[in-house]
Amino acid sequence: MAPDPDRRQASFPQLPYPALRSADPRTPQQWLRGKQQQDGAEGLWRVHDGLYDLSSFVGLHPGGELWIQSTKGTDITEAFESHHLHGVAEPLLPKYFVRDAREPRNSPFTFKEDGFYKTLKLKAMQKMKEFPAGARSKSDRVTDSLLLLFLIITPITCWSFTKSFLLGASLLLLNGLVMSLMTICAHNYFHRKDNWRMYIFNLSGLSYADWRVSHAMSHHLYTNTVQDIELSMLEPFLYYLPSGDKSLVNQLAAVYWPLVFPFTSVGCMVKELIAGLTNLEGKKLQLSNAIPLFVPAWMYFVGGLPLLPTVGLWISCMLVSSFFFMVFGLTAGHHGNENFFEGDIPRDTTLDWGLHQLDAIVERVEYSGHGNHFMSLTGFGDHALHHLFPTLDHAELEFLYPTLVHHCEKYDTELRMTTFPQAVVSQAKQLARKKQNNFRAKTALLKQ
């Protein structure tokens, strides 16, 4: 079906509906091409209302080449504002200025100097000077320990099936859980400059490169809006957007979601391989695509089972890991029925990006702000601060809680909290929700 150029977004009707959002196969590369068509960047890089030629900066970017290369022809304002916390990027940008943009920004979000996010960012930058030296090493130790545990327990799982099915099945569940926790830890690293730990993410069958687009560039920057590709990629199996015409089948996902979660990782791996083999949207196979195959090879050469049973156990491990990964991910804070989603009434037709993030997040109290770094790192904890400052390590986020809470009070907003069990129920309710949430009315009540 051809895109409708006159279709508008429901929550932000001044903006066109993403041209390729509903077009299959809904890949990150396809999402970027849709932005290139609608962002008014004219083949350059757009930041606010200026166009910049960053071609000569690709190899100089401290965060790595992918961030710049993949975003050519798009508006990178949200990424530019939220990914740079050291005051270095802003003075450099004018050097690459070409001209003013001819079209208004295709985004509802603002970054006013006296607004919620920019003033919070300044406070966070000051607080960063007080972070303990070596704080990030806490995350490194947890991640490396889980990787080592995974390498040990994976072949033992194979061996255990030669002794007892019950023992093997038990270790398989444990192995899948460890893989999931390890993968979530690796997510902490692909938000930052290139590093070897980001490749751990690929052991699960997922792709750090694709997730840098679908997660870091799309979901993080346009959370729960029509530009959030993580929502569209789950459709039609899971339809999270509220809509008056949401079908009964879509609503029944509130019950059958556990049947979908296990197949996410395998589905993503297969989709990426097909896209690379067919050169879909310019996608090419890379050496990183072979990383998932290390797992069955390791199981086969060390575990002692024949090849076919080994492959079966590998796939089973991925299914278990995917289930836990999705449960932790979709209860991290975004998919609750009281959050903002495309289709709801926002605070305003244009709004501060940071305030939008708080409207789209309900923080899990067990995983956030209590000093339990392991739970936070392995459970997508401290999620509000992670969205506001994604390039900070999870070990650093806990030091920003007093700053965030005080800042919320100043701007008549709140950091909403929930529990893990409540979040599980709430995401099921969101799958069934048809009625709009009215954040404009809620904001007015908070200011009274």
Domain boundaries, the chain: 40-105, 137-329
**Cα within 13 Å of Cα(251), Cβ side:** 11
pLDDT at 256: 96
Kindly tell me if the per-residue pLDDT of 174 is higher than 50. Answer: yes
H or E, element range at 45: strand 45-47
* 196 has pLDDT over 60: yes
Q: Residue 448's pLDDT band (boundaries 50, 70, 90)?
A: low
Residues 187, 199: Cα–Cα separation, whole Å: 10
Q: Is the pLDDT of residue 1 over 50?
A: no
In degrees, rounded to 5, the angle at the alpha carbon of residue 191 between the alpha carbons of residues 373 and 61 is 135
Average pLDDT over residues 64-90: 94
Gap between the terminal Cα atoms of the chain: 47
Q: Mean per-residue pLDDT for 8-36?
A: 93
Mean pLDDT computed over 357-386: 89
- Please work out, in degrees rounded to the nearest 5, the angle formed at the alpha carbon of residue 141 by the alpha carbons of 135 and 147: 145
How does 92-122 read in b/e, with b if 16+ C-beta sit within 10 Å? ebeebeeeebeeebbbbbbbeeebbbbbbbe
Please state which of the four CATH numbers 3.10.120.10, 3.40.50.300, 3.100.10.20, 1.20.1560.10 is assigned to the domain occupying 40-105: 3.10.120.10
Model confidence at 283, pLDDT cuts 50, 70, 90, reads: confident
Check residue 87 and give its pLDDT.
Answer: 87
* Mean pLDDT, rounded, for 275-304: 91
Q: What angle do CA 269, 72, 47 make, to 5 degrees?
A: 120
pLDDT at 296 (0 to 100):
96
372 pLDDT band (50/70/90 cuts)? confident
How many Cα atoms sit within 13 Å of 149 on the Cβ side?
17
What was the pLDDT predicted at 443? 78
Report which residue type is found at 2. Answer: A
| Token digits of residue 169 | 């099945």
On average, the pLDDT of the chain sits at: 93
CA–CA–CA angle 185, 191, 195 (5° rounding): 75
**What percent of the chain stands above pLDDT 90?**
84
- Could you tell me which residues are beta bridge partners of residue 417? 363
Average pLDDT over residues 425-437: 96
The residue type of 296 is P
Q: Which residues contact 219 (CB under 8 A, 6 or more apart)?
A: 228, 229, 230, 231
> 333 vs 446, which has greater pLDDT?
333
Structure confidence at residue 339 as a pLDDT band (50, 70, 90):
very high
Residue 414's pLDDT band, with cuts at 50, 70 and 90, is confident
Among 1-15, 65-79, 343-357, the minimum mean pLDDT is found in 1-15
Is it the case that residue 371 has pLDDT exceeding 50?
yes
Task: For residue 3, name the pLDDT band (cuts at 50, 70, 90).
Answer: low
